[in-house]
Amino acid sequence: MAPRLTLRELRDKSISELRTVGPSLGERLGAMGIDTVLDLLEHYPRRYHDRTNTTEIAALAVDEQATVAGAVKKVSVRRPRKGRPIVEMEVYDGTSYLKLTFFNQEYRARIGEGTEVSVFGKVDLYRGRRQMVNPAIDVLDTVAEPTTGVLLPVYPQSGKAGVNSWEIRKVAAELLKRTEQRGFADPLDDDLRRAQHLVDRTTAYTNIHRPETIADAATARARLTFDEFLRMQVGLIARKRALERDRSGIEHRIDGALSPAFLAGLPFPLTGDQERVIAEIMADMGAAAPMHRLLQGEVGSGKTVVALTALLVAVQGGHQGAFMAPTEVLAEQHELTMRTLLEGLRVPEEGSLLGERPVGVALLTNRTSAAERRRIAEGLRGGQIDILVGTHALIYEGVEFVNLGLVVIDEQHRFGVEQRDLLRGKGNEPDVLVMTATPIPRTAAMLIYGDLDKSELRTLPAGRSPITTEVVGPSALERVAVYERLRHEVAAGRQAYVVCPLVEGSTKLEAKAATEEYDRLGREELAGLRLGLLHGQMPSADKEAVMRSFRAGEIDALVATTVIEVGVDVPNATVMIVEDADRFGLLQLHQLRGRIGRGEHRSWCYLLADPSTAEGRARLEAMRASTDGFELAERDLEIRGAGEVFGERQSGFSDLKLGRLPRDEPVVIAARAVAEALLENDPGLERHEQLREEVEDLLGDAVEFLFKS
């Protein structure tokens, strides 16, 4: 007997091998991304038309949708002079007669008297008699694929590619028939399926495409959703274990004097969250396996202090640290903050006059001059630079650390896994701390960052001022009040941001919009105030000059694009106005709002918008109702779904065909537990070859080293 079909076998079969797929349909399906038999199998119905309500004709009620079966007793065709041909039929089932009327379907007249048929449609009254107009009809002797008396699957179709749901239904029916004899191989054994209350895979694929009841479709969907999450979790956990297994890290000195001296000298107390997270990081850094930790922290929750403590743990043991930020503005700001916080801290230096020197911090971006680069290269080689702050420039040729012990990556979603690995490769398996101010919902984090341990900073430091968020409609009167508030705050010595509309996919158009708004505000609402302009098309030197002026209080209101979204820290800013706020994502709005409320004064965030969609209204209402980034992340996931949240981090990770977050959170948790147990007992998946194949096919090159014995 032939072995059961694996997904890899189906992946390697072209859709054209099915008899119902001719060259034209094959081309049109290809335009929809359905090229292989596996693509078709996993092109799941979106919903089902329930045509299972089978009734005797005598019991039919007006307005009822039902299926009836009977014999055709009479067929006639009428051809009105100025109209479409009309076919009329009488069907009898032993209890009563039902009239059928078909407009512009003259071919129906070919169904002869005496033929047994099944009919589905809605019952109405015409001249006192029950009838169905244009019902679905199956000739019972000859129909291969019934459309009546069944749950009829409705597939995602494509007007652009010219493919209809009924065409996909027909091809899917052939596929199920062709696979019936062999069935589908199952990567889960009977005991595991029973423990998780899952049906076998053959049942699941059959019942998702051809369910007899809605309950059948639901159990099929549950099994196939579990499979999607299990493959992802196995890939991530295997990656994490492979890193721990194959690589020996640095056992840092966590009892040195430098990091305690730094913490003791801070002008503010640590929050409980900061103390807990520092302890977690210390435990990681003191262990032999390399650290791979994700630090999620609210805007302004004190991630920089935590990162700097970790960097000093590396430095006190004689290692160097690298801190990578996503933009030059941010890298420059971090370097400035670090120099201020590290002032007065010294490290031993043999052979120097005093036997010690200040902690060495340097900045490397694309703007760094050739002479400065040479100085940095010498400082890294000679060990005088302890911490190098920079942008992507850190990962490229020519940056050679003598003893890299820790890499901190800020705003991970801006960097791919490959860049993370490149930077790690600069040293002898340095520890890696990834930071993000974009809160990630718990279940999404399990999928996206399942290869990292996680820490959270939720508590904001004491002394942060409250932020009032208001949604302001298109009324001119309401908007006048917004700019009056801005002027009032400036008069009191404070500063403000005005964020210009998002222009999708065009930084040039966005820069133009910001420039026009800057000119308009200077003539109208904000005439007489000192305005600054900041957008992504400006040369880096100009951007930094504007930010320096704003930080120094020489600019009252900064008109900007989203270049200020992450990390710009001006405690004196108390007003944020976001134009066309409904164009922005929820977490992007939260990041923007995080630019204010950083000092002691009360702050206001005004979202100017006239949303035309329910989703836009939901985002703005969520912003108004909450300032908790983690709560907003969960809400964002509900509004947008997982695909958007994953972005393009890695192939396969947004490849959810059935899974939906947060709805399927329990499934993610169950799949993770199963994945951990499987890999615990069978690290190389040698006894689970099919599951290993499926994970490899999902994640491609990303898993080439995962399943070594």
The CATH number of whichever domain residue 12 belongs to comes to 1.10.150
Q: How far apart are CA 566 and CA 410, in angstroms?
A: 10
Same domain, 274 and 394: yes
Listed as ranges, residues in the chain with pLDDT below 50 are 413-416, 643-653, 702, 705, 708-709
Q: Are 306 and 277 in contact (CB under 8 A)?
A: yes
The answer as to whether 23 is a domain residue is: yes
Instruction: Using alpha carbons, list the distances in angstroms from residue 576 to 151, 628, 637.
Output: 53, 17, 25
Same domain, 35 and 173: yes
**3 state SS for 562-585:** HHHCCCCCCCCEEEEEECCHHHCC
**pLDDT at position 649:** 41
Same domain, 474 and 601: yes
Domain end position, chosen among 149, 177, 209:
149
Same domain, 14 and 97: no
- Locus of tokens 């059935």: 658
Same domain, 497 and 364: no
238-276 burial by CB neighbour count: b if 16+ within 10 A, else e? bbbbbbeeeeebbebbbebebbeebbeeeeeebbebbee
Same domain, 306 and 384: yes
Number of domains in the chain: 4
The answer as to whether 510 is a domain residue is: yes
Domain end position, chosen among 95, 123, 149:
149
The answer as to whether 341 is a domain residue is: yes
Counting Cα atoms < 13 Å in the Cβ hemisphere of 322 gives 31
Q: Are 650 and 703 in contact (CB under 8 A)?
A: no
Q: How far apart are CA 521 and CA 536, in angstroms?
A: 20
Bridge partners, residue 418, by sequence: none
Q: How far apart are CA 487 and CA 507, in angstroms?
A: 29
Same domain, 14 and 144: no
Helical segments of 647-688, H only: 665-681
Same domain, 485 and 538: yes
Same domain, 15 and 94: no
**How many other C-beta atoms lie within 10 A of the C-beta of residue 592?**
25
Give residue 465's Cα distance to chain centre. Answer: 31
3-class DSSP assignment, residue 548? helix
The CATH number of whichever domain residue 587 belongs to comes to 3.40.50.300
Identify how many contiguous H helices and E strands the chain contains and give both numbers. 23, 23
The answer as to whether 213 is a domain residue is: no
3-class DSSP assignment, residue 703? helix
Domain end position, chosen among 627, 655, 689:
627
Which token pair is 456?
């959270």
Q: How far apart are CA 402 and CA 377, in angstroms?
A: 10
**pLDDT at position 42:** 95
**Residues of the domain holding 340:** 258-287+299-438
Q: Are 219 and 658 in contact (CB under 8 A)?
A: no
Same domain, 170 and 113: no
The answer as to whether 431 is a domain residue is: yes
Counting Cα atoms < 13 Å in the Cβ hemisphere of 457 gives 28
3-class DSSP assignment, residue 73? strand
**pLDDT at position 505:** 60
Phi, psi of 608 (to 5 degrees): -85, 120
The answer as to whether 242 is a domain residue is: no
Taking each helix axis as running N to C, give the angle between helix 214-246 and helix 201-209, from 0 to 180 degrees, rounded to the nearest 10: 130
**pLDDT at position 697:** 84
The CATH number of whichever domain residue 124 belongs to comes to 2.40.50.140
The answer as to whether 647 is a domain residue is: no
Burial class, 232, CB count within 10 angstroms (exposed 0-12 / middle 13-18 / buried 19+): buried
**pLDDT of 215-255, one tens digit each?**
999 999 999 999 999 998 898 888 778 777 766 778 898 99
Same domain, 492 and 560: yes
The answer as to whether 245 is a domain residue is: no
Same domain, 64 and 36: no
